[in-house]
Amino acid sequence: MYFDVDGKQVFATTGGKPFDKDRPAVLFLHGSGLDHTFWGLHSRFFAFRNYAVLVPDLPGHTNSEGPALTSIEAMADWLNDVVVALDARDISLVAHSQGCLMALEFASRYPGHVRSISFVASGLATPVNDVLLDAAENNPDAAIAMMLGWGFGSAGQLHQGPIPGNSMVAGGRKVMRGNTPTALVTDLKACNAYDNGKQAAAKIACPVQVIVAGKDRMVPARATAELIEHLNEPVVTVIAKSGHMLPQEAPDQCRSLLQAFIFSNNPAT
């Protein structure tokens, strides 16, 4: 569906059911250069189990009007505008990579309606190396190749995927190509500049879970350890064989973990 935020069109999928503001909400946040389709194997599941599901494209990504936002803090404020525009309440945030930084910042700034947060493949910060930043600016195809090459584990490189006939890595490339030349590099710069994770984590009081990709080459293990250390009693699970793109590489395991955590902390009747 499309709706207006600050006079600009925002696109979000709702998992195949109309967004019902009176139900507990699950709000999925995608990572750098990606879009709503990243969460396709999770969003529909919750929508058909009595949750109001929202998976927005960030400004300047795929179907949402630009420009892309230049800082994690601005993304958190924009997310609050989305929540206000839709009158969403009792929100479970489910976030991947860059989306996790957004979730940290949003929940610390606007804690009122957040019932739980699920961090997937994340660190307390996400520094981006200069080679990738330079490629994103000057040679987006090379940057996409790096991110997908590092992002997917061996299953992704072999074009396997949980949906019969679908190639995760090729599908990801199509989405990311659509989000160049500006959205990808803007996202990466925003991630690289974000340094408020420690302070934001300290303000989060709701239940949190961290799902760790055992073969994550995008987020250093040290950064994930710092996130876990600074959150308040997180439920931590490691999916040993998955790479950074865990929600796509191991969707059934990821969905089961999200289901158990969200059903318990933000039940929908």
Q: Which of 163, 171, 157 lies closest to 215 in space, CA to CA?
A: 157
Region of 84-92, 146-154, 180-188, 228-236 interacting with another protein (CB under 8 A): 146-154
Separation of alpha carbons 82 and 87, rounded Å: 8
Give the footprint of another protein on residues 162-181 (CB under 8 A): 162-167, 169-171, 173-175, 177
Separation of alpha carbons 206 and 196, rounded Å: 18
Compare residues 207 and 243 and give the one whose CB is closer to another protein: 243
Compare residues 109 and 241 and give the one whose CB is closer to another protein: 241
Separation of alpha carbons 123 and 184, rounded Å: 19
Pairing mode, if any, of strands 2-5 and 8-13? antiparallel
Compare residues 230 and 255 and give the one whose CB is closer to another protein: 255
Contact pick of 76, 83, 128, 148 for another protein (by CB under 8 A) = 148
Separation of alpha carbons 37 and 229, rounded Å: 31
Query: How far lies 59's CA from each of 30, 94, 199, 232, in Å?
Result: 12, 18, 26, 31
Compare residues 167 and 182 and give the one whose CB is closer to another protein: 167
Listed in sequence order, the residues at least 6 apart from 196 whose beta carbon sits closer than 8 Å to its beta carbon are: 72, 73, 104, 105
**Per-residue string for binding with another protein, 180-219, x by CB under 8 A?**
-------------------------------------x--
Name the residues that contact another protein, by CB under 8 A: 13, 15-17, 35-37, 40-41, 43-45, 48, 62-63, 145, 148-150, 154-155, 157-167, 169-171, 173-175, 177, 217, 251-252, 255
